[in-house]
Amino acid sequence: MGPSWFPGGVVGYEDSRISSTMDATNVDGQAGLAVLALKREIGPWVIGGAVDLGYGTYNTRRDITFGGTPLQTRGSSNALNAGAHFNASYQKFYGNWYVEPQINLDMTYLRLDGYRETGAGPFNLDVSTSDDVVFSATPAVKLGRRVNLENGTILNAYATAGVRFLSGNDWNTNARFANVASSSGGLGTTLDTPDVLGRFGAGVEVFNEGGINFRVQYDASVASNYLSHQAELRLSVAF
């Protein structure tokens, strides 16, 4: 490849914990993720794409009270996600400061395998497999500053603000009581997530001529009755 092309890859591990209001439902999970990416720099433009694949195992717990008796269900399921991503940005410098308008387009396939709960007798649920494809577009603007340090090391500090538009992001799940015959039907639920999100982030990146990059980043997604936080710590070596 020419000097303006930059291939890359990432292998990651995620440990997650999700709990509902009043701690009635909890999900603990561990997942692995692999990403292959390619970008090209054309003057102030950077155009890139990536594909990713992730797989994880998640353990669920639900606390129930029936007739004054506390009960607890437990279950375990596997999840798969695969995605394709495109991004383009234009960087304009003002001394050490820069402004970078950008656009990200994403398509993600999600699949959650079915599972059967245990521990609460007739209140255990048999949850069906569910899957979905989510499309999103995120225009944003990044404001940052680069500082040259010693030995060719560069410090890049930045903040980002944008809006994310989503389609197909409502998650449908079908379940029935585990002791009831499947012919009797079940219960359907829909997780109605926002179609428009405000996206805000900030981070610091340190990289040098030897190809060793370090980055710490925080991101938040905000909408009416919705708030999501994400923190990222990344160490990469170019070769």
pLDDT for 73: 93
pLDDT for 183: 66
For residue 123, CA distances in Å to 119, 177, 228 come to: 9, 6, 31
Between CA 165 and CA 221 the distance in angstroms is 12
Best CA proximity match to 120, nearest among 66, 75, 77, 72: 72
pLDDT for 239: 63
Is-contact 82 110, C-beta < 8 A?
no
pLDDT for 2: 66
**Vertex 151, ends 147 and 152: CA angle to 5°?**
50
pLDDT for 66: 84
Residue appearing with tokens 């692995």 = 32
One digit per residue, the tens of pLDDT, for the chain of length 239 reads: 667 898 988 888 888 888 876 667 889 999 999 999 999 999 999 999 999 999 999 999 999 888 888 889 999 999 999 999 999 999 999 999 999 999 999 999 999 999 999 998 888 989 999 999 999 999 999 999 999 988 889 999 999 999 999 997 778 888 888 887 776 667 788 777 889 999 999 999 998 877 788 999 999 999 988 888 898 888 877 66
CA 21 to chain centre: 21
Which run of H or E residues covers position 63? Answer: strand 45-66
